[in-house]
Chains A and B, each alone.
Chain A
Amino acid sequence: MATYSSIRYNFPVVDATTSAQVGAGALTLIKELTASSSATLSFVDGTSSVVLDDTYKTYIFKLINIHPSDSDNVNKISFQCSTDGGSNYNTTVTSTAFRAYHFEDASAAGVGYRVAWDQAQGTAFQQVSEDLGYGNDENNAGELWLFNPSDTTFVKHFTVQTSINYDTAGNVNNFIAGYFNTTSAIDAIRFQLLDGNIDAGTIKMYGIA
C-alpha cells in the first residue's frame, strides 16, 4: 500500500507553471527576506539558512508588496544570478518579455512585446516589470520560477509574472522568461531595482520537491 510520503509527492510538478498548480506538501518555504530601504535582496546558497542547490529541482520566489523608495519613474524590478556564491551577479541571459497594461482612467490598454526589456546573451540584471508607481499604497506582486539551477549539463530556465501599479496609475501584467546560458551551477540570486532602493516588501523563497 502506498504510504503518505510516497503519495503526496506523486504530483506532476513538471507540468505546473505557477504555484497555484502545485500540490500542498510539495511547496516548502526556505527563506523570507523583508526589505527596509534595501539596495538588494539576495539568496545565497549556504548563507542564512538558504538552500539553492540540488535539494530541489524547482525554486519559486514570491514578491509581495514590493514598494520603491525613489520618486522618479525608473523603478523597475530586476534580478540576476551568480555561479560563484554571490561574488558576481553577471550570468549570461537570453530572454523574452511582454506585458499587458491598462490605465485607471481607461485611456489606454493593450498587450505587446517589450524589446527594451529582453536580453540576447546579456549579463545585465534582467528587468521583470514596467515602471513602478511610488505612491504610498502602490506596490508589486508576483513570482519567479527558477528550474534546476544546480544542473551542470543544461542551461537554466526561468519564468516570471508580476502585477504592478504603473507609475502613471494603472495595472501592468508583466511576463518574462528566458534562460541563464551556463552549464555551471547557479548558487545565488539577487533582486534589486534598476534605480533606487526597495523601500518595503517581502520576497519568499520556496523549493518544490
Chain B
Amino acid sequence: MTEYTDIAYSPLSAGGSMVLLQEQEASSSATISFTSGIDSTYKEYVFRYNKVSSSVDGGMITINGSIDAGSNYNVAKTTTFFAAQHNEADDDTDLGYNTSKDVAQDTEEAIISYGTGNAADEIVDGYLHLYNPASTTFVKHFIGNANTKHQSDYSIQSLVAGYFNTTSAVNAIQFKMDQGNMDTGTIKLYGVN
C-alpha cells in the first residue's frame, strides 16, 4: 500500500514546488555524492539529511562542491558557523561562533553540523539550501541548519552559511564525515520550482 511518505514527496505531487530528485541511503558510507540532477533546471536545491549516524564519537557532517561532475570536490568556499547547545543535565547552555568550524577560501570540506555520538540512538538531522548552482555569473550561496545528539548528551543546533566562490557551475555535491563513516541515514535531494 502506498504510504504517506511515498505520496507526499513524490515528484508527481500535483501543484507542489518541491520535487524529489534523488535519495541515497548511508550504509557505513565514507561519502555520499550527488553527481546528477544539479543543473539549471532549478534555481534552488534542498538537501535533507535524516537520521545520519556516525561510526565514531564526534563525527561531523561536511560538504564540498564539484565543478567537474564529481571528479574533484575542491571548490573554494567561505563559511560562517555558530551553534546553540544545551545538555540533558540542564546545567550548561551556550550560544556562540565556532572559529574552528568555519572555512575561509578553503578547498577542503566545510563542516555543516556539530559532531554526533556513535551510540545506537545518536544521530544528526538537518538540511542545506543551495542557490542557483548552475550560474556562471555569481558565486553560489548555501544555508544550512542541523541538530545533533552529541556524545556528551547535548542537543546542539548548528547554523551555517557560505558560498562556493566560483563562477563555474557547481554540478555535484559530496557529503562526508570529518572522521569515520556515515553508518546509517538518508540524504534526499529536492529541486524547488
CB atoms of B129 and A106 under 8 A apart = no
Q: Beyond A23-B9, A26-B16, is A18–B145 a contact (Cβ under 8 Å)?
A: yes
Chain B interface bracket (under 10, 10 to 19, 20 to 34, 35 or more): 35 or more
Given the known inter-chain contacts A101-B80, A163-B141, A173-B161, please indicate yes or no for A65 contacting B8, CB distance below 8 A.
no
Q: Measured between C-beta atoms, what is the minimum distance from B49 to chain A in Å?
A: 10
Say what secondary structure dominates the interface of chain A.
strand
Q: Chain A residue with minimal CB distance to B162?
A: A171
Q: Which chain B residue shows the least CB distance to A202? A: B43
Of the residues A25, A102, A204, contact of B78 by C-beta under 8 Å: A102
B161 near A100: Cβ-Cβ < 8 Å: yes
Cα A206 to Cα B78 in complex, Å, equals 29
A29-B17, A165-B163 known; A65 vs B132 contact (CB < 8 Å): yes
> B residues 76-105 with Cβ under 8 Å of A?
78-82, 95-97, 99, 102, 104-105
List 11 extra interface pairs beyond A20-B128, A111-B82, A138-B138, CB under 8 A: A22-B18, A25-B8, A27-B18, A64-B44, A102-B79, A102-B162, A105-B105, A111-B96, A140-B141, A141-B129, A172-B80
- Interface, chain B (partner A; CB < 8 A): 4, 7-11, 13-20, 43-44, 46, 48, 78-82, 95-97, 99, 102, 104-105, 127-129, 131-132, 135, 137-139, 141-143, 145, 159-163, 165, 167, 190, 192-193
Show 22 A/B contacts (Cβ-Cβ < 8 Å), sorted by A. A7-B4, A7-B7, A19-B129, A20-B129, A23-B8, A23-B16, A24-B16, A24-B20, A25-B16, A65-B137, A100-B97, A102-B80, A102-B104, A104-B105, A106-B105, A111-B82, A140-B141, A161-B143, A171-B80, A171-B161, A202-B43, A206-B17
**Which 4 A-B residue pairings sit nearest by Cβ, starting from the closest?**
A20-B127, A173-B161, A25-B13, A25-B16
